[in-house]
Amino acid sequence: MFRIEAAEVLLVRLPLKFRFETSFGVQTEKLVPLLVLHGEGVQGLSEGTMEAAPMYREETIAGGLNLLREVFLPRVLGRSFANPEALEAALGGFRGNRMARAMVEMAAWDLWARSLDVPLGTLLGGHKTEVEVGVSLGIQADEAATVEVVRRHVEQGYRRIKLKIKPGWDVQPVRATREAFPDIRLTVDANSAYTLADSGRLAALDAYDLTYIEQPLAWDDLVDHAELQRRLGTPLCLDESVASAQDARKGLALGSGRVINVKVARVGGHAEARRVHDVAAAFGAPVWCGGMLESGVGRAHNIHLSTLPNFRLPGDTSSASRYWETDVVNEPLEAANGLMPVPRGPGIGVTLNREFVARVCELEEEYRA
């Protein structure tokens, strides 16, 4: 049993250390919503992964923060819950808006774990002390630049290289990378930029021994992905189109893909992420943990989730120092030879760098029961 007594909502702006281009556009900074729940003498932390504009999925930062203020926090403040699943059920009557709901659910998991003095991964059923990680590389200026940035990250020991692609920039960087690095684990991510009419172009990627092609078609589609998978030898990986365990079941049953990228916030929190993990395991499909350019709070949650046994492929949880000069947490989250240590200590194992957060904070609100 744990009680939620108060909450803080923070919004911080972090400059990225590099220009990150995908089929959505170019990103040079990240606006990060943070939630702190207080109770049982401890604090539970979470991070929102929605963006300012509805590019990845339909949620936005403005909409998510308003739902926290007006709908979700009023339903949990001042209440006691037997466990985070009970809190999840209290928010379960609302449609969609899974990223906003996940902020409350994930912070509750952290609070509960800290109150029990247990690591979050242990409560979720994980057992690993370190997890395999890869790296997600944005679209580069040309093939030579692509090979060079891949080389740097291969030398750093990352266990999977993922290239962002888009129509007109797909076979070229993949061919150049595979020729330069014939033995690396290589994948691509299209961020929903293609249609079935592009199946011939995507089929050309079969020649380059990719582990998977991630979310090539529409963000809300499963049917066309199944048709595309029948036309390709390379496995498809579902990302945006899996928002629940039911979506995972339907996608795998239809043959829409053979791998699932689990983003804990996209599916509404840790409880549903664990259900997606279990459904995929029942189908024999591996999962891996995707990233949304998280700060240290979201990164720590991702690492703990990745300790579950069916996370059999390297995730996107690469070193925080790739992204930020200064992170919002005090503890370094750094990979070595493609392995990320699970943060030690109760809960997610990291604490807010309050001094730095105060310098970059654009919004700070407090709520009590």
Q: Which two tokens stand for residue 309?
A: 């046994």
Percentage above 70 pLDDT, the chain: 99
Q: Is the dihedral of CA 264, 266, 268, 272 positive or negative?
A: negative
Question: How many angstroms separate the CA atoms of 88 and 337, rounded?
Answer: 37
Of the residues 17, 164, 166, 250, only one is catalytic, namely: 164
Q: Is residue 106 within a helix (H) or strand (E), and if so which, with residue range?
A: helix 98-116
Nearest to residue 19, comparing CAs of 179, 101, 140, 171?
A: 140
**Token pair recorded at residue 333:** 């989250």
Can you give the residue ranges of every domain in the chain? 2-118+352-368, 122-341
Summary mean pLDDT of the chain: 95
Q: Is 164 annotated in the active site?
A: yes
Instruction: Please tell me the distance from the alpha carbon of residue 87 to that of residue 78, in angstroms, as a whole number.
Output: 12
Distance of CA 284 to the CA centre of its chain: 21
- Check if the beta carbon of residue 267 is closer than 8 Å to that of residue 300: no
pLDDT over 80 at 25, yes or no = no
What does the pLDDT read at residue 19?
Answer: 67
> Over the stretch 307-323, which tens digit does the pLDDT of each residue have?
999 999 999 999 999 98
In DSSP terms, 294 is beta-bridged to none
The predicted pLDDT at position 300 comes to 98
Mean pLDDT to the nearest integer, 170-188: 97
Read out DSSP for 139-204? PPSSHHHHHHHHHHHHHTT-S-EEEE-BTTBSHHHHHHHHHH-TTS-EEEE-TT---GGGHHHHHG
> Which of the following CATH numbers is that of domain 2-118+352-368: 3.40.50.300, 3.30.390.10, 3.40.50.720, 2.60.120.590?
3.30.390.10
Q: Residue for token digits 């689990």?
A: 262
C-alpha torsion sign, points 17, 342, 57, 4 = negative
From the candidates 30, 128, 162, 263, give the one annotated as an active-site residue.
263
Residue 74 has pLDDT above 80, yes or no: yes
Tokens 């080389």 belong to which residue? Answer: 151
Mean pLDDT on 202-214: 98
Q: State how far the Cα of 116 lies from the Cα of 345, in Å rounded to an integer.
A: 11
Do residues 351 and 331 touch, judged by C-beta distance below 8 A?
A: yes
Task: Tell if the pTM clears 0.85, that is, is over it.
Answer: yes
Please state, in angstroms and rounded to a whole number, the distance separating the CA atoms of residues 195 and 224.
8
* CATH entry 3.20.20.105 includes domain 122-341: no
Half-sphere exposure of 273 (CA within 13 A, CB side): 34
What are the DSSP calls for 60-103, one per residue?
A: BHHHHHHHIIIIIGGGTTT-EESSHHHHHHHTTTS-S-HHHHHH
**Measured in Å, how far apart are the chain's first and last C-alpha atoms?**
17
Q: Does residue 72 surpass a pLDDT of 70?
A: yes
Bridging pattern class, strands 287-289 and 259-262: parallel
pLDDT at 209 > cutoff 80: yes
Q: 47 and 302 in contact (C-beta within 8 Å)? A: no
46-60 confidence digits (pLDDT tens): 999 999 989 889 899
